[in-house]
Amino acid sequence: MNFIRKIVKPHSEEDAQFYNELKILLNFSPKKLNKYKKAFTHRSVQMLDSKGMPINYERLEFLGDSILGSVIASYLYKKVPKGTEGYLTQMRSKIVSRDHLNELGKDLNLIRFVKSNIDQANVGDNIHGNIFEALIGAIYLDKGYNTCQKFIHENVIDPYVDIEKLEGKITSYKGLIIEWCQKRKKKYTFDTYEDSGNESIKHFSVKISIDGEQIAKGRATSKKKAEEQASKRVYFAFQEQINLT
């Protein structure tokens, strides 16, 4: 029996350009172009499908996050046969940290594909990691798990994953400071409060005290960033003691 291979061609010049750039990025020919369009559509566009369901990257981001985690877990399980569950979990967290995924998205320049009604300067850094995960979700729906695995190895593991360097990488200064204080039986407080002043953008400040003495302060546009900033300063203030723990 003879089969005729169906070739899906882009319907417009815009689609043709998107297809060609995507093909170079992915290192394979995408078939379901709409999946990839969805991976780069921000919710601010407020698009709906024929059933009234939102068209944006958020569900693909969820899917891609799970697939990325499973591929990294499989790699670490084979790469570090003596690694404990806790060690493997920590290493996976370092590889798929939000900061690292944002860097990956930036390196691939994925933002060039994004459709949004918000200016790029105002969407925040996390969009880079979000669309990277959404892209993985789109690849899975288009080509399956094996192609996803290959893409992740080529774009994440091979160029960026160095086990020895990752072992010494700090992903959360706040977590490190809390763990150190608990081990040394030190009392610590994170005093976080809104501190916008005359600025239109909301800011938060945090003061970290250890054993009743204020050690460091931080200020940023979110509580988490402010706490990390202050915690990093505490780390450098006690770096020698912490590294000996």
Q: Give the residue carrying structure tokens 């960033």.
A: 225
* Bridge partners, residue 100, by sequence: none
Between CA 96 and CA 76 the distance in angstroms is: 12
**Phi first, then psi: what are they for 238, rounded to 5°?**
-120, 20
Out of 61, 133, 142, 228, pick the active-site residue.
Answer: 133
User: Does the active-site annotation cover 65?
Assistant: yes
- Coil, strand or helix at 220: strand
Give me the long-range contacts of 33-36 (CB less than 8 A, separation at least 24): 33/8, 35/60, 35/138, 35/141, 35/142, 36/135, 36/138, 36/142
Out of 15, 21, 58, 65, pick the active-site residue.
Answer: 65
Give me the active site residues, please. Answer: 65, 133
